[in-house]
Structure 1
Amino acid sequence: MSLDVDQIVDRRRLRRKLSFWRVVGVLAVVAAVAVGGYVTYGRDILPSSPHVARIVVGGIIRTDRERVEMLDRIAKSNAKAVIVSIDSPGGTVTGAEQLYDALRRLAEKKPVVAVVEGMAASGGYIAAMGADHIVARRNGMVGSIGVIFQYPNVTELLGKIGVTVEDIKSSPLKAVPNGYQPTSPEARAAINSLVVDSYGWFKGLVSDRRKVSDTRLAEVTDGRVFTGHQGLALQLVDEVGDERTARAWLAREKGVSEDLRVRTWRTEKTSSEFSWLRGMAATLAAATGFESVAGYLSEATQSALERAKLDGLLALWQAPI
């Protein structure tokens, strides 16, 4: 009987020891993963550790409060410099203006260098000018300095199907252009004044930030895009290269060690209110046996929705169809 009791006690002790070491093992694995993440992946370096911050500006630029708040946090972090990696055709004028202003505030606290990875056109170039120094890949695209106001006009289509849209307005220029009626000369002049005003602001920004002469300003602000190589000669960029070129400039001009790790800062991602439609496009294609085009439809639908959500004045480069 005594032997049985001793065996039971020993087994209980063994189980407790096993449970203890299991817990320790799990905690060790969790700690290893966490530490490994901080060591291996630059984006997981602690903000309190000295590092070079990287932010990514890609796709359509719109107003983004979370991004502005993130830039403000970077300004208060232990980042020694900031790299702005850009691949964007632009977006809304107000979104580009907001991003530019936030980058200029950040540049008052940290050295900021922009790297054009693929494209910094229109509003994307406005963002690049928020940096102290612009580096572009040799065949990257910069420029498209200009403003556009686009709207569809379906007057003729509605007329063919017998539909007339009528309105009662407080004044002739209220809610114009509306796309349901021919645009009057007065409405066109009013919209043109908005474009001219924003375009003047954009050109003034280029003149001030890039220090170009009036003659060259006229040349680079006619709306076209340039390669990074062309942009160097036109003073739109400071160097041709990549992120390593940017790090070398930070070391040479700002004393920021090239040995510092890079941490990619990101905002919290929010799902699109139209994500269901994008998913449906791909699902339907796959269900009908067209798996090869499912991915394409998903990307194309997302692109169309991104553009559909843009309104107001745009600083956006559009390739001819």
Structure 2
Amino acid sequence: MISEAELIVDRRRLKRSLTLWRVLAVLLAVAAIAALVWSGGSGRRFENHIARVGIDGLITGDQKTLDLLKEIEEANQVRGVILRIDSPGGTTAGSEALYDALRKVAAKKPVVAVMDTVAASGGYITALAADRIVARGNTITGSIGVIFSFPEVSRLLDTIGVRMEELKSGELKAEPSPYKPVTDKARAVSMEMVRDGYDWFTGLVAERRQLPMPRVQELSDGRVYTGRQALQVKLVDELGGEEKAVAWLETEKKLAAKLPIVDWEPRRSSTAGLGFSAADIVLRALGLEGLKAAAERAKLDGLLVLWHPAL
């Protein structure tokens, strides 16, 4: 017959055993979530593979994307890179930063750009950083040029009886101003800045596409091209999709056949640490994800390499 003391000892032993298993279960769950975030969320693998990087939306040269490209540049297991571009462009400085980072990657491993729906302006600058450019027949690309836009609301202020006074150190400080019509001198100085950015852009096209500058200038009046038109004028190399990019990597760059393609994504700061944003989820649920893109466009300032007919 089991005594009461022995029952108490057994219960305590059972409790300790249950506690141990609960702790182990929690640790296993944490490890599983960490593995999901690390491998599934950021797309890292420790085997030889082709890295796929998406360049979507507005290009601003954000640090997370630049950090990602630096990781890819230094990752020995990445044998080649496929850029999937779907972007109307963005800021000139941001496009320059992205281009420079991609050229550093291309110095160590082959890079192919695959254009999706839109790869215009800054999106095309991104493609120029690749060793080869593949476009869909109906991709929208080109829009080679620079824009500097600013509001001018002086007539509205006159209508509502508001006048802005300015005290400034020089006549071109904070010019052009939204509070008065732009002066000829301010317009000329701003145009010089646009021209300098344009010369940089067209210089990239001439260098990377091996085209004479007079021909580049003919193509660089700001117009957009379909992929088929871009192929005819030598702004892209081939029509097709990702399969053409992989075939080129295998045949021209001698990458091993059937290498896995792994998505590499910037690490995201999120509310729960699981790779999602609560704000994004709410906007998506309400069907208002377009508001986020509109807000991002509204924040753009400075010289732009951007094709955005919606604005």
How would you bin the TM-score normalised by the shorter chain? Answer: 0.7 to 0.9
Whether the 8 Å contact between 2:42 and 2:267 is mirrored in structure 1 is: no
Partner AA of 1:55 in structure 2: V
2:301 match? 311
3-state SS of paired residue (2:133): strand
Q: CA RMSD in A?
A: 3.1
1:162 match? 161
Whether the 8 Å contact between 2:42 and 2:266 is mirrored in structure 1 is: no
Cα deviation digits, residues 289-315 of structure 1 (max 9, x gap):
xx9xx42xx334323211121111000
Whether the 8 Å contact between 1:42 and 1:261 is mirrored in structure 2 is: no
TM-score (norm 2): 0.85
Q: Which stretch of structure 1 is more off in the superposition, 30-39 or 65-74?
A: 30-39
Q: Which stretch of structure 1 is more off in the superposition, 168-177 or 12-21?
A: 12-21
- Give, in whole Å, the separation in 1 of the partners of 2:13 and 2:281: 55
- Give, in whole Å, the separation in 1 of the partners of 2:221 and 2:172: 29
- Give, in whole Å, the separation in 2 of the partners of 1:175 and 1:66: 31
Whether the 8 Å contact between 2:72 and 2:78 is mirrored in structure 1 is: yes
Q: Which stretch of structure 1 is more off in the superposition, 88-97 or 241-250?
A: 241-250
- Give, in whole Å, the separation in 2 of the partners of 1:244 and 1:24: 45
2:106 match? 107
Partner AA of 1:308 in structure 2: A
3-state SS of paired residue (2:170): coil
Shift of 1:258: 3.7
2:291 match? 301
Matches within 5 A, 1:220-259: 220-259=219-258
- Give, in whole Å, the separation in 2 of the partners of 1:113 and 1:24: 45
- Give, in whole Å, the separation in 2 of the partners of 1:182 and 1:276: 43
Whether the 8 Å contact between 2:44 and 2:264 is mirrored in structure 1 is: no
Whether the 8 Å contact between 1:43 and 1:262 is mirrored in structure 2 is: no
Whether the 8 Å contact between 1:62 and 1:91 is mirrored in structure 2 is: yes
3-state SS of paired residue (1:170): coil
- Give, in whole Å, the separation in 2 of the partners of 1:170 and 1:22: 70
Cα deviation digits, residues 73-94 of structure 1 (max 9, x gap):
1111121111111100000000
Shift of 1:178: 1.2
- Give, in whole Å, the separation in 2 of the partners of 1:5 and 1:137: 79
1:86 match? 85
Cα deviation digits, residues 107-156 of structure 1 (max 9, x gap):
11111111111111001110111111111112111100000000010011
Q: Which stretch of structure 1 is more off in the superposition, 97-106 or 71-80?
A: 71-80
- Give, in whole Å, the separation in 1 of the partners of 2:135 and 2:247: 14
TM-score (norm 1): 0.83
- Give, in whole Å, the separation in 1 of the partners of 2:181 and 2:91: 25
3-state SS of paired residue (2:243): helix
- Give, in whole Å, the separation in 2 of the partners of 1:169 and 1:49: 60
- Give, in whole Å, the separation in 2 of the partners of 1:59 and 1:243: 19
Whether the 8 Å contact between 2:142 and 2:225 is mirrored in structure 1 is: yes
2:72 match? 74
- Give, in whole Å, the separation in 2 of the partners of 1:79 and 1:90: 27
3-state SS of paired residue (1:91): strand
Partner AA of 2:58 in structure 1: I
1:56 match? 54
After TM superposition, where is structure 1 displaced by more than 2 Å over at least 4 residues in a row? 1-39, 41-46, 213-216, 268-271, 275-280, 298-301
- Give, in whole Å, the separation in 2 of the partners of 1:53 and 1:279: 27
Q: Which runs of 5+ in 2 are unaligned?
A: 271-276
3-state SS of paired residue (2:145): coil
C-alpha spacing 1:22/1:157, structure 2 compared with 1 (3 Å): closer
3-state SS of paired residue (1:52): strand
C-alpha spacing 1:304/1:27, structure 2 compared with 1 (3 Å): closer
Partner AA of 1:148 in structure 2: I
